Each structure stands twice: as structure tokens, then as C-alpha cells.
A and B are shown apart, each in its own frame.
Chain A
Amino acid sequence: MFRSIGRLPLKTAVLRRGTLNATRRASLCSRANTRQGFPYFPPPNPSQPQAGQNVGSGSAGTSDRQKRNVRGGDYENEQARLLQAALGHVINLGWTEEALIAGARDIGVSPAIVGSFPRKEAILVEYFMDDCLQRLIDKIDSGDLALTNLILSDRLAKLIRDRLEMQIPYISKWPQALSIQALPANLQTSFKQRTMLVDEIWHAAGDHPTNMDWYVKRTILGGIYSTTELYMITDHSPEFCDTWDFLNRRIKDAFDLQKTFQEASYLVEAVGAGVGSSLQGFVQRVFQK
């Protein structure tokens, strides 16, 4: 049940914006349709077969969407309109039912409709998360971010910063949103949304993992994103400059850590080789005798 609900706002977001290119839309759909919260992705391997898979599941997603359009399109459109209107009331009313009710009044729909939403507060936060992801993707696709001139660590920092800046208007109410996302009933969806975001960021950064495990990378970036998000809540510096410093330091740490790991693995290799060769020498000597 939660799964289908979690999917819904994203689908409406995709419906609302027709600017996505076909492959991206296909990959989004395939993600939205996946059943599991965790390893629902194969490690990215930008080779042909995977691209084929994506297109396949994407077209399935499209037909699914068309079906939904025929059946309950009005309801979903109204819901998306209402949630969009409700976002305007979040600053005053928080991520609450009151904001939803105010949003319903704005678009001239009876607030009784709010009663038909399951997990009433979460639906608004989830809509916002999906909307931000969509905006980020649009930005990446339009090339506004000028990522190609930057090195990998700067690209990651810029993408995370761009995404977090979308939360600035709601920063005073963001702790409430986080606590809603952390409720057990909402955890599955919020976790999925975060993995999708991190995945999108890695993808946009153009990193093709060859030297480090894909899941490790995703976990580390997720950690950086979440800690920066938390830091931002209590940051009162002008234009959140402390937050961006913090973010850059965390990314640098992660890259240093990667280097440390590499050096350690070289050391282990060298020691292993040394031990191996001396053992070999010892065995040879024993057999010569």
C-alpha cells in the first residue's frame, strides 16, 4: 500500500512536467516502479544491455501511466494541484493538515478531500521531495550547472548544494519535515527518495565507478547529504556559507578516506607479496634438502 502511495507524487510530477528527455523519463519510471527499497539497482554499468533494460521497463511504466490517466487522472491531477497550493502555506502552517486544507481552499476544492489522503502530512513532504528531485534533474538536463568544467569532488559539492538550496525557503519548518520522514510508517518512502536523489547526483556527476564499490559510494554520499542537511538547520550564517564550507570539508574527507583506503590496500598487497615470496623460498629450501 505504501509503495503505491510513494510512487504517486513522483508520477504526477513527471506528468506535470513534459520537459524530460526520453531516456531520463524511462529511467525514472523504472525506478519508481521498482518494488524494493534497497538494492533495486544493478551497479551501474553504462553498457548497452542495461540501457536496453531501462528503455523496456520505461515503456512499461508509460503504458501503466496511461492506464492510470484513463481511470483516475482527475483525482491525481487535483491532488497534485492541491499539494502545490499547500506548499505555499507550509511557511505559516508547517507540514500539517492545516496547510493541506488551506491549499484545498485556494484551488476551490472542498477540504474534505484531505480526508482521502493516506498519511496526510507525509504526502506533502514526499511531494516536495519529488518536486525538488524533478527540478534538479531539469536543471542538470538544461546544462545550467556547467558541471563539465569541474572536477568530480566539486561537481558533487555543487549538486548537493543546489539541491539543498531548494529547501532554504522552508528551512524554519524543515526539522518538522525530517521528523515526519523519520516516522516508521513513512520511512520506507523517504529512504527510497533519498537513494534516488543520491543516485541522480552520482549519475549527473558523471562518475563511472571502477575502483570503489557502488553501494559504498552511494552510502557515503547519502551520509554527506544527510549530515549537511542537518547542519543547515542550525546554521545562521549569512547565506548558509558555513553549511557550504561544511559540505566541502565532508567531501574532501571522503576523497581522502578513499586515498587512505587505497594506500592501505597497496600496503597489504606489498606485505602479502613479501610474505608469499619468503614462504616460497622457505618451502623450496625444505624440498631441496
Chain B
Amino acid sequence: MALRASTWKLQKSLSALLASSRLHTHATSFGFKEVHEEEKSKMVGNVFSSVASSYDLMNDFMSAGLHRLWKDRLVAKLHPFPGMKHLDVAGGTGDIAFRVLESINSVSHSALRCGVTDEVEGGSRIYVCDINPKMLSVGKKRAAERGIDGSPVLQWVEGDAEALSFPKGSMDGYTIAFGIRNVTHIEKALSEAYRVLKKGGRFLCLELSHVELPIFKELYDYYSFSIIPAMGEVVAGDRDSYQYLVESIRRFPKQEVFAKMIADAGFQKVEYENLVGGVVAIHSGLKI
């Protein structure tokens, strides 16, 4: 009797396993969980809606303020110039956009000194695109605090990285900071990035990545799985969102694999730079 019961159980679990493998083409990962593709974007949306208000505070706590330096590094690599059309995807809180704007302003001052005509000065545009309206509203609020909310340069757009609303060949630069991990189809987002960029335009991606250094890796794992969710609970009152965060980092392709994906999307001169031993990596590509 017991035997029959256990075989029945086994059969049931086997059929469930088969069903899930049949489903696999439509399944994707949400942290370590396998979920339906449609669910992932909804679940990611929930995560960011719930953390939007304390997003920057938590970033500071989790990275000990380092995320500011990483973002500075990203913008330094981008090398903005006056007249630039830039698209920052998944940049709702405006962290990257404000830095790009600052950089353009400082460059254009020095260009004025050199006697360059300012025909291109007014042409600079920075589009901040985010799928989550709550994140965008945080960014708008921060722009207002900085007194730059009236600037025509900053444009806030609600949109999906996999289906951008911008025409082909319209952007000089594309950045995505801590965002591509949350996209359901990374390949689609990359090909969209390739589509909207002009010839000579650059793709830059800042993302939490993989640590390979032996002892540092153990420490980093302990920190991610034990401390960050606890910190999330205390600071943001939301443990699950931060559990998702650390799990999704581990699910993200390794540096080399991701670089290959970027090259497959058509980009040339694909490079990456590890920061803090690979805790984050900046990937870059060029459209020719």
C-alpha cells in the first residue's frame, strides 16, 4: 500500500516535471524561481514599485556609497558631449541622467572657451526611460529638488527596454545601469539598443556581476545572502524584494557570456571592465 502510494506520488511529480519542461520555452527566471514570462515583468514591476521610495537609500546602504562612484565611472566612460542625444534606460530615479547632464554642461563651457559655435548647444537631449512610473516620479521629484525639472534637456518617458518608442538611429548614447538584469529577454533589449543608436553610437551597461576571486567570493556570497535581505527588511521593510535582487544577480550571465551577447546583437569593440573584483562590471559596445 505504502509502495503504491509512493509510486503514485513519483508519477505525479514526474508528470509535473514533464509539464514544466514543456513549458520551459515560456518560462524565465525570477531570482532562483522559474516563472512565466508574463509574470516576470509583473513581479519585477511589483518589486520596484515597493522599493521606489527607499531605492537610493538602500543603494547607499548596500554598496556603502560605492554605487555613486560606479555611476561616475560609467558616465566618464560614456564621455558625453554637447548636442548629444542620450537614452538612459531603466534610469527612473535619474541618477545617470543627472550625471550626464552635468558632464555635458561642463564640456560645453570649455567648448565655449575654445570658440566653438553653440549651434549644437541647445540640441542636447537626455531621455530617461523606465517601465515603472513610480521610479520615474521619484526621478522627477529629485529633478525638481535640483531645480532642473524645467530643463528641456531632460525628458521622462515611460517605456519598455524590449520595445523602445524611439526611431531607428536616433541616439548617440545608450546606458542601462542596474537594469538589464530585470529585463525578461536580454537579447531583445540589446537589439533594441542597437536599433535606436546612430552609427558611431555607444552602448554602455553597468550591472552587478560575478566575483571570481576565491576568498572575496565567499565573503561576497555571505554578504549578499545573509546581510542584504536583512538590511532590506530593516531599512526598506521589504525582505522579499532584496532576496530577489541578490538571486537575480546570480542568475545574470557572466561577464564573458554577456559580452558575447552584446557582440551577437551587432555591436563592435565590445569590452568590459570589472569594478571591485567583479561585483559590478561595465560592458561597452559600439555601433558602426
A residues in contact (CB < 8 Å) with B = 72, 74-75, 78, 92-94, 96-98, 101, 104, 108-116, 120
Contact = CB atoms under 8 A, between A and B. Distances in A.
A93 B198 CA distance: 25
B164 interface: no
Given A110-B201, A111-B84, A120-B79, 19 more contacts: A72-B269, A75-B268, A75-B286, A78-B200, A78-B288, A93-B116, A97-B81, A109-B198, A109-B199, A111-B200, A112-B78, A112-B81, A112-B200, A114-B79, A114-B81, A115-B79, A116-B202, A116-B269, A116-B284
Contact of B81 (A74, A109, A111): A111
Interface residues of B, number: 23
Interface string B165-202: 00000001100000000000000000000000111111
Contacts of B84: 111-112
Contacts of B199: 108-110
A104 B200 contact: yes
A211 to B, nearest CB: 50
A45 to B, nearest CB: 41
B273 to A, nearest CB: 12
B111 interface: yes
Contacts of A72: 268-269
B114 interface: yes
A101 B107 CA distance: 12
Interface centre among A72, A109, A112 (most CB of B within 10 A): A112
B77 interface: yes
Interface of B: 77-79, 81, 83-84, 111, 114-116, 172-173, 197-202, 268-269, 284, 286, 288
A96 B202 CA distance: 20
Given A72-B268, A75-B269, A111 B172 contact: yes
Contacts of B198: 109-110, 112
Contacts of B269: 72, 75, 116
A35 B45 CA distance: 53
Contacts of A104: 200
* 8 closest A-B pairs by CB: A115-B79, A109-B200, A110-B200, A113-B200, A112-B172, A110-B198, A74-B288, A110-B172
B114 A116 contact: no
A196 B173 CA distance: 38
Contacts, number: 64
B61 to A, nearest CB: 31
Contacts of B202: 110, 112-113, 115-116
- Looking at chain A's contact residues, the main secondary structure is helix
Given A75-B269, A93-B114, A93-B116, A112 B201 contact: yes
A92 B198 CA distance: 27
B185 to A, nearest CB: 25
A113 B198 CA distance: 10
Contacts of B201: 110, 112-113
A74 B269 CA distance: 10
A114 B197 CA distance: 15
B288 A75 contact: yes
Contacts of A111: 81, 83-84, 172, 200
B172 A74 contact: no
A67 B222 CA distance: 45
A108 B79 CA distance: 18
Given A75-B268, A78-B200, A115 B288 contact: no
A71 to B, nearest CB: 9
B268 A112 contact: no
Nearest to A96: B114
A108 B201 CA distance: 11
A102 to B, nearest CB: 8
Contacts of B116: 93, 98
A98 B114 contact: yes
Contacts of A92: 115
Interface-centre pick from B172, B198, B200 (highest chain A CB count, 10 A): B200
Contacts of A78: 200, 288
Contacts of A97: 79, 81
Nearest to B84: A112
Contacts of A75: 268-269, 286, 288
Contacts of B79: 97, 112, 114-115, 120
A96 B268 CA distance: 25
B211 to A, nearest CB: 23
A94 B114 CA distance: 9
A6 B268 CA distance: 20
Nearest to B288: A74
B230 to A, nearest CB: 40
Given A109-B199, A110-B201, A115 B77 contact: yes
A116 B77 CA distance: 8
A253 B200 CA distance: 52
B193 to A, nearest CB: 13
Contact of A116 (B81, B111, B115, B286): B286
A85 to B, nearest CB: 12
Contacts of A96: 114
Candidate in A101, A104, A110 with the most chain B CB atoms within 10 angstroms: A110
